[in-house]
Amino acid sequence: MSAKPRGIVRPDWKFALSNPAHLLALGFGSGLAWVVPGTFGTLFGWLTYVWMAPHLPSASHWLVVLALAFAVGCVCCHLTGRALGVADHGSIVWDEVVAIWLVLWVAAPVYSTPLQQLGCVVVFRFFDMVKPQPIRWFDQRWKNGFGVMWDDIVAALISLFFLSLVARWMFR
């Protein structure tokens, strides 16, 4: 006889609003999407990036925001994963939000138009979903809030490497 799954199978707004950590980890509701919540979280991240970018003009501002969002995200994703009974539940999307902020911020000097930013989003989602090595290594071994956040940062770094190769090839 198989064991009954622990935790909440699909969180809802009641769960999201029950704790500020849950609300943040669920990407302010974007992770509650019935299909591809990670993509909805990434799109929410893109939208908030576009809103924040004019207000964060320097690299030091962005570094502070990214570091704080990562650190707070580690705690919130850990608490939410524990409450859901699954460390990296699909509805936890704060990792995608912070990772796409990193991608869009670093890529902004070259990929600045909305269509180019969409390309950055697609590249990031590809690497985040396919999880080639070393992303898969972190995803399989680090099962806590830090692990949830870190594998998406690695996906962001690989995406940025790929985007830099594309930019170098296109703008020779």
Distance of CA 139 to the CA centre of its chain: 13
The helix, strand and coil proportions of the chain, stated in percent and rounded to the nearest 5, come to 75, 0, 25
pLDDT value at 172 more than 90: no
**Residue 5 preceded by cis peptide, ω within 30:** no
Residues 115-147: b if buried by 16+ CB within 10 A, e if exposed: ebbeebbebbbebbeebeeebeebbeebeebbb
- pLDDT tens per residue, range 60-88: 999 999 999 999 999 999 999 999 999 88
10-51 pLDDT, tens digit each: 899 999 999 999 999 999 999 999 999 999 999 999 999 999
Give residue for tokens 């099962």: 143
What's the mean pLDDT in 130-142?
83
pTM reported for the whole predicted model? 0.91
Question: Can you give the pLDDT at residue 7?
Answer: 58
127 neighbors 159 (Cβ within 8 angstroms): yes
